[in-house]
Amino acid sequence: MGTGKIKMRRFSGYRILEHWGIILTSVVLFATGLCQRFWYVDSAQWFILKMGGVDTVRLIHRYAGIMFSFELILHVAVAIGGVLRGRWGPSMLIKKEDLQDAVHNIRYYFGLEERQARCDRYDYMEKFEYWTILVGGFLMMGTGAVLWLPTVFTRFLPGEVIPAAKALHSNEALLIFLINAIWHIYNAIFSPEAFPLDTTIFTGHISRERMLREHPVELARIEGVEVDELLGNGLNEAGSLKPGVEPGTP
Amino acid sequence: MTEGKKLSLGLAALLIAAAITAGHAGEAELSAEAVKCLQCHEKKGSSFRFQDGDSVPTHVSAAKYRLSVHSALTCSQCHTDFLADAHPSRRFKNKDQYRMRASAVCRGCHTAEQIKAKSIHTNLLLREKEGISSICTDCHEAHSVIPVAGGKIVKSETQYCMSCHQHEMSMTCRNGEKIHLTVGMSISDGNAHDKLRCSDCHYGFSSEEHPKRNFRSRRDYTIASSETCRRCHFDKYTKTLDSVHYTILSQGNLNAPVCNDCHGSHAIPHITRGIKGRTITTQKCRKCHPGVYAVYAKSVHGSALFNEQNQDVPVCIDCHTAHNIDNPLTLEYHEKIPQMCGNCHANPAVVSKYGLSTGVLNAYLSDFHGVTLGLYRKQREQLYKPARPIAVCTDCHGTHNITSAASSDPVAVKANLVKRCQKCHKDANENFPDAWLSHYKPSLTKYPMIFLVNTAYKIFIPLMGLGFLLQIFLHIWRYAVNR
């Protein structure tokens, strides 16, 4: 981020705070949760003993879970409320353009397309991540509640829901952990486009250059022009590259 | 030869002669009367009959008599009725009557005062006061009696001790109880200690020492005697010091068992490892724990042991050990229970013939209760943090009253389970025990819902992981190509 780069506001202070909150609760939940699932691993046992025993680990996990649930519900409430009040559009909803963008990009990786897909505020990868974690989060909330209060739930549900909840909770947690650890961390840190760190969610700002490359549809909407115009002389009417233009130029 | 040499030679000869005569105390020439009597009595073959059919041989060994302390005496100094030429016939009812009469003669020289000086005679004199005669020749032999200090009276120490202890005798404790000191003659035949001598255990007693001891009660005597076992069985003795029996004994409960209570004192049998030995051990514990025994006898383990002589079932000492018996109500013991049951129930060699699954231990250990138990144990050992008791095998299956799961009424089992769960999960209802998968691994037939969930994720997670990695790889590749 040097001089001469135009910085645009992408996330409000609230979003930055929200993300920090979710980082912290997730780290605590993963640490205290995975050591319970993989209890037979030596380092898990070391961690449990360091924390003061399995009862303490469970306590921390549950209260972090409460925090996580609060954050989740708050997020959904704010999102829906904002849409209803017209403050922002439902930018995370999955549309057919996302599927087209996904296919387009796969073809691009194999060299069958000349440029990357043009995405809106959130590209298909970000939407995928969002939805899996959101739905997964609610699943964790529900199954977590069953595991915390087994006698309450078995008052009106059969006893097998408890081991079923345990299987779901444990497996879903592993899935979310892998999504986060592999996918999200790659995109945010190790991806060549983001390396060393995608700071947007921490500063709230994104450079116009990146906006142009990653979210051109949104940029066009903000600046009130057509996407093609935005992308400049690189394209002809058909949307193909004009002769003499290097591929990869936005 | 010179004069001096002759003199010294003669002196030496004299000295040697004196030495020979002095050294053999009593190997003096026998009296004329003795020689006469021995003419007949040295011959073997004749005996003196009693009225009850018993007899005593009349043979006297001259050689032995010469060596004895009484060789200076003549026969009639003891056998007062007899002379070499006067031989009255006498009639005795039985051998004992004859021997009593004979022993009365000894008391002519050996007064009660003299005899009392040796404490070994104390009880004999006490019995005499009660009217029971002593028979001196039980210990001392008649004609070949040599000084007691020589210790060569009898062939073996056991014989020496038994010569008194075969008879009815007892000692009185301070509280008035009597301890019977009679030892049955067959005490050691074929038993574990039959190669031992009396003094190996009764340390401090010998032909020379027979201390008089004063015990407060019979129980005190038994407890004190058990200390002897320590001399050879030190390993087992130290184990008992760790046991709950020793704890309550040292707190003052004298009824707590000591070595003798279970093993006996004289007729200690060899340890039999077969079914007989296993059943015998239960009878020992039964003495003090009859209620537990009754419950155990009705259980699936107990009835198999007693009715079918089944070797595979646990007896008391399998779970409670024999010597270092832990208090079974402690958390440490509680935590050992799954491994204890698992010794048999996870061992295919033992339980597969009964149609029982060996996966039951692992099913428990990989579920919530088992995992927590393992962690609680570690916490207690490493953090010294007290743990809560958590459900183990016995909490659902019972301890002494274990019944076969297959033969139990399922409704009753379920009702019992709810009660047990409620011990920790106070508001559990009848749905709650179904949360426990009864040691089953979920499969398509048993708990299919859970099996399907697990399988779905087992497929989905690797698939997704692969997808991500592929996507990342492609992305980087295209990026590299672009550059």
pLDDT confidence of residue A237: 43
pLDDT confidence of residue B238: 93
Least confident among A119-128, A150-159, B129-138, B149-158: B149-158
In percent, the amount of chain A with pLDDT more than 70 equals 90
Give the DSSP H or E segment for A205: strand A205-207
Q: How far is A163 from chain B (nearest CA, A)?
A: 6
Q: What is the mean pLDDT of residues B51-80?
A: 84
CB contact under 8 A, A108 and B478: yes
Instruction: Confirm if B170 and B180 have CB atoms less than 8 A apart.
Output: yes
Higher-confidence position of B117 and A138: A138
Task: Say if residue B121 is exposed, middle or buried (CB neighbours under 10 Å; 0-12, 13-18, 19+).
Answer: buried
pLDDT confidence of residue A73: 96
* Three-state secondary structure readout of A91-133: CCCCCHHHHHHHHHHHHHHCCCCCCCCCCCCCCHHHHHHHHHH
Higher-confidence position of A10 and A241: A10
Question: Residue B456 is encoded by which pair of tokens?
Answer: 């779905």
pLDDT higher than 50, residue A9 = yes
Higher-confidence position of A9 and B404: A9
CB contact under 8 A, B435 and A154: yes
pLDDT confidence of residue B314: 92
Query: What confidence category does residue B168 fall into, taking pLDDT thresholds of 50, 70 and 90?
Result: confident
Sign of CA dihedral B315, B316, B320, B325: negative
Instruction: Confirm if B399 and B302 have CB atoms less than 8 A apart.
Output: no
Instruction: Confirm if B120 and B204 have CB atoms less than 8 A apart.
Output: no
Q: What are the distances in angstroms from CA B380 to CA B367, B368, B376?
A: 20, 18, 6
Query: What confidence category does residue B339 fall into, taking pLDDT thresholds of 50, 70 and 90?
Result: very high
Q: How far is B425 from chain A (nearest CA, A)?
A: 7
Provide, as residue numbers in chain A, all residues whose Cβ is less than 8 Å from the Cβ of B426.
151
Question: Residue A201 is encoded by which pair of tokens?
Answer: 């969610």
Question: Residue A250 is encoded by which pair of tokens?
Answer: 């936005």
Least confident among A136-150, B81-95, B288-302, B362-376: B81-95
CB contact under 8 A, B468 and A186: yes
Q: Ranked by mean pLDDT, which of A71-75, B47-51, B381-385 comes out on top?
A: A71-75
Nearest to B404 by CA among B313, B283, B309, B285: B313
CB contact under 8 A, A160 and B449: yes
pLDDT confidence of residue B182: 84
pLDDT higher than 60, residue A242 = no
**pLDDT, tens digit, for every residue of B405-461?**
777 777 777 888 888 889 889 899 888 988 888 888 888 888 888 999 999 999 999
Chain-centre distance for alpha carbon B300: 29
CB contact under 8 A, B383 and A111: no
Phi, psi dihedral angles at B227 (to 5 degrees): -65, -25
Nearest to A11 by CA among A147, A121, A108, A146: A121
The Cα B475–Cα B467 span in angstroms is 12
Terminal CA-to-CA distance of chain B, rounded, Å?
Answer: 138
Query: What confidence category does residue B136 fall into, taking pLDDT thresholds of 50, 70 and 90?
Result: confident
Sign of CA dihedral A61, A67, A70, A73: negative
pLDDT higher than 70, residue A62 = yes
pLDDT confidence of residue B240: 93
pLDDT confidence of residue A79: 93
Nearest to A250 by CA among A227, A224, A226, A218: A227
Q: What is the CA radius of gyration of chain A?
A: 22
Phi, psi dihedral angles at A205 (to 5 degrees): -110, 150
SS3 content of chain B, % helix, strand, coil (to 5): 55, 0, 45
Instruction: Confirm if B30 and B66 have CB atoms less than 8 A apart.
Output: yes
3-state secondary structure of B176: coil
Give the burial string for B427-450 (b: 16+ CB within 10 Å, else e). Answer: ebeebbbbbbbeeeebeeeebeeb
pLDDT higher than 90, residue B10 = no
Locate the chain A residue with the closest alpha carbon to B467. Answer: A183
pLDDT higher than 60, residue B151 = no
B412: amino acid identity, one letter? A
Chain-centre distance for alpha carbon B239: 14
DSSP β-bridge partners for residue B172: B178
Q: What is the mean pLDDT of residues B17-41?
A: 67
| pTM of the predicted model as reported, rounded to 2 decimal places | 0.72
Q: Is B475 an interface residue toward A (CB < 8 Å)?
A: yes
pLDDT confidence of residue A139: 95
pLDDT confidence of residue A148: 95
pLDDT higher than 50, residue A77 = yes
Query: What confidence category does residue B154 fall into, taking pLDDT thresholds of 50, 70 and 90?
Result: low
**pLDDT, tens digit, for every residue of A142-196?**
999 999 999 999 999 998 899 999 999 999 999 999 888 888 888 888 888 888 8
- The number of residues making up chain A comes to 250
The Cα A8–Cα A209 span in angstroms is 10
Nearest to A151 among B427, B442, B474 (CB): B427
Q: What is the mean pLDDT of residues A131-151?
A: 94
Nearest to B454 among A157, A158, A171 (CB): A171
pLDDT confidence of residue B81: 84
pLDDT confidence of residue B476: 85
Phi, psi dihedral angles at A7 (to 5 degrees): -100, 135
Pairing of strands A7-9, A205-207: antiparallel
**pLDDT, tens digit, for every residue of B181-208?**
888 766 556 788 877 888 888 888 877 7
pLDDT confidence of residue A2: 44
DSSP β-bridge partners for residue B139: none
**pLDDT, tens digit, for every residue of A85-102?**
988 888 889 888 888 988
Give the DSSP H or E segment for A168: helix A161-178
Mutate to test the interface with B, among A40, A43, A55 (most CBs of B within 10 A): A55
The Cα A142–Cα A153 span in angstroms is 11
Q: What are the distances in angstroms from CA B186 to CA B164, B182, B277, B321?
A: 15, 12, 21, 31
Phi, psi dihedral angles at B130 (to 5 degrees): -85, 0
pLDDT confidence of residue A66: 97
Give the DSSP H or E segment for A16: helix A13-37
Phi, psi dihedral angles at A55 (to 5 degrees): -65, -40
DSSP β-bridge partners for residue B179: B171
pLDDT confidence of residue A67: 96
DSSP labels, B352-408: GGGT--TTHHHHHHTSHHHHHHHHHHHHHHHH---------HHHHH-STT---STTS
Least confident among A102-106, A121-125, B137-141: B137-141
pLDDT higher than 50, residue A3 = no
Query: How many C-beta atoms surround the C-beta of residue A212 within 10 A?
Result: 16
Query: What confidence category does residue B9 fall into, taking pLDDT thresholds of 50, 70 and 90?
Result: low
Tally of CA atoms within 13 A in the half-sphere of A85 that contains its CB: 7
pLDDT confidence of residue B26: 42
Domain edges within chain B: 20-153, 155-268, 271-325, 326-441, 443-483
Query: What confidence category does residue B4 fall into, taking pLDDT thresholds of 50, 70 and 90?
Result: low
ipTM reported for the complex, 2 dp = 0.79
Query: What confidence category does residue B341 fall into, taking pLDDT thresholds of 50, 70 and 90?
Result: very high
Q: How far is B389 from chain A (nearest CA, A)?
A: 13
Query: What confidence category does residue A249 fall into, taking pLDDT thresholds of 50, 70 and 90?
Result: very low
Query: Residues 146-205, chain A: which have Cβ within 8 Å of B?
Result: 150-152, 154-155, 157-164, 166-168, 171-172, 174-175, 178-179, 182-183, 186, 191-193
Nearest to A175 among B378, B461, B477 (CB): B461
Chain-centre distance for alpha carbon A112: 28
Domain edges within chain A: 9-90
Instruction: Confirm if B435 and A163 have CB atoms less than 8 A apart.
Output: yes
Instruction: Confirm if B420 and B395 have CB atoms less than 8 A apart.
Output: yes
Instruction: Confirm if A122 and A92 have CB atoms less than 8 A apart.
Output: yes
